[in-house]
A and B are shown apart, each in its own frame.
Chain A
Amino acid sequence: DSGVTQTPKHLITATGQRVTLRCSPRSGDLSVYWYQQSLDQGLQFLIQYYNGEERAKGNILERFSAQQFPDLHSELNLSSLELGDSALYFCASSSGQGGTDTQYFGPGTRLTVL
């Protein structure tokens, strides 16, 4: 158990809909990272927040947005969903701002768009 929690575990929705994925970092960790893993793909870095502020951005679509709240939990919002958004979405956390920090991953949320 990494100490990172993600909800829900599974999500099934239809094209055009909007969903919110939630992540609670390990106690004391200030950074939260979001990754997407599609079928046969590696982990694609989406975005990182550090202590409530956006720290780094990766291949995140404009239809996706994230935020980190004062209690340090984070939400990833996915809107106007398309079939290709079906994937595993992982959240990770680390104690520092990133760089060489070890990232601890949650169990993931499996999103299925029908």
Chain B
Amino acid sequence: DQQVKQNSPSLSVQEGRISILNCDYTNSMFDYFLWYKKYPAEGPTFLISISSIKDKNEDGRFTVFLNKSAKHLSLHIVPSQPGDSAVYFCAGGTYKYIFGTGTRLKVLA
């Protein structure tokens, strides 16, 4: 039972444009959501989070949007940079987190 789904395994975006990574979840009890970024041969690193009581959280070039009625969250990266090329995982949970399978973002120079 995949409670957190990232349906796009990969995404390619031109440098300077917007990258939008999507994530769907099924458990309405999740009260916190996270995005992690992972480079090859490294562990995931925390990127940005959002509480279920909010619908938007912004940190520099990164913005996470939460649509609770649709059980959907998205990560926007503007402008995209080649260094953003990585695998992005979303996760939802309460005291423990369920991670999605990741989306590989490639930013083309």
Question: A residues touching B (Cβ–Cβ < 8 Å)?
Answer: 2, 4, 35, 40-45, 48, 55-56, 58, 90, 92, 97-100, 102-108
In the bound complex, CA of A42 to CA of B49 (Å): 18
Number of A-B contacts (CB under 8 A): 56
Residues of B within 8 A of A43 (CB): 44, 89, 91, 99
Is B89 a contact of A2 with CB atoms below 8 Å? no
Complex Cα distance, B95 from A56, in Å, reads 8
* Min CB–CB distance B50 → chain A (angstroms): 10
CB–CB B46/A42 < 8 A: no
**Interface presence of B41 (CB below 8 A):** yes
Is B42 at the interface (CB under 8 A from chain A)?
yes
| Residues of chain B contacted by A56 (CB below 8 angstroms) | 95-96
Choice from B43, B51, B98 contacting A105 with Cβ under 8 Å = B43
Q: In whole angstroms, what is the CA distance A29 to B89 when docked?
A: 23
**27 contacting pairs across A/B (C-beta < 8 A):** A2-B45, A4-B43, A35-B99, A41-B101, A42-B99, A42-B100, A42-B102, A45-B96, A45-B97, A48-B96, A55-B95, A56-B95, A90-B43, A97-B95, A98-B95, A99-B32, A99-B94, A99-B95, A100-B32, A100-B49, A102-B34, A104-B45, A105-B36, A105-B43, A105-B44, A107-B41, A108-B43
Q: In the complex, A98→B101 CA distance in Å?
A: 21
Task: Given A42-B102, A45-B96, A107-B43, decide whether A102 and B49 contact each other with a Cβ distance below 8 A.
Answer: yes
User: Please, which residues of chain A bring their CB within 8 A of the CB of B101?
Assistant: 40-42
* Residues of chain A contacted by B51 (CB below 8 angstroms): 100
